[in-house]
Amino acid sequence: MRRAVVIASGDVQRVGYRDAVLRAARDLGISGYVKNIKPYDVEIVAEGEEEDLKRFIEAIRIQRYPINVRSLSVRWEDATGEFEYFRIIYGKWTEELFERIDTAGALLYRSVELGEKSVALGERAVALSEESVAIGREMLKKQDMMLQKQDQMLQKQDVMIEKQDMMLGRQEETIEELRGVRSDLSDHMEQRFARLENEIAEIRRALRELGVS
């Protein structure tokens, strides 16, 4: 068993620090006491197993509003076993009353401050939400414009396809006409060749009759 004599400095009086020390001591099975000392510090005398005392010292190094422990001065001694449990040594009842009032006031002020911050954060969140909605609407407008342009492009593409179909149709008609012309020309030439052959045959026959070979 060991004893640790601790002097806590910082914002440790009239902020509920002694109550926090008492809870930590009970959780770890530490015996001893805690009390305010002049002008602004807190004295803690604690006895227990050395490992438990080390954990206790870390547990009371509190920096959580309104408590702010800036330093802990620790002196190790042999345990005396004189303490049955851990307790708070209170001062005059008037001092204790004012300390309780100060602690309650500090916590109330902190609650109001946190409430105001929460309201401010809420207003900021609403503003961001409205901004997000406005951005979303603007994006939808731009998307609609893009869709309209896409529709216009598709319509132009359909017109171009129709024109292309018309050109292909005309090309096919021209090809058919050319085929018809070629067929007519071929028939005409064949008829002329046939007439020429007949005429040549008649001339040959007339020449043979005249004795001209």
How confident is the chain (213 residues) per 10-residue block, as mean pLDDT? 97 95 97 96 98 98 96 97 96 73 67 67 68 78 82 82 81 78 77 85 84 72
Q: pLDDT per residue over 109-141, tens digit each?
A: 667 666 766 666 767 766 676 777 778 788 778
3-state secondary structure of 10: strand
CATH number of 2-89: 3.30.70.100
Catalytic annotation present for 198 = no
The catalytically annotated residue of 3, 14, 18, 208 is 18
Can you give the residue ranges of every domain in the chain?
Answer: 2-89, 92-154
In order of 1, 44, 49, 73, the CA distances from 53 in angstroms are: 10, 11, 6, 14
Instruction: Give the separation between CA 206 and CA 193, rounded to whole angstroms.
Output: 20
Q: pLDDT per residue over 23-51, tens digit each?
A: 999 999 999 999 999 999 999 999 999 99
Catalytic annotation present for 64 = no
The catalytically annotated residue of 23, 26, 36, 61 is 36
Which pTM does this prediction carry? 0.50
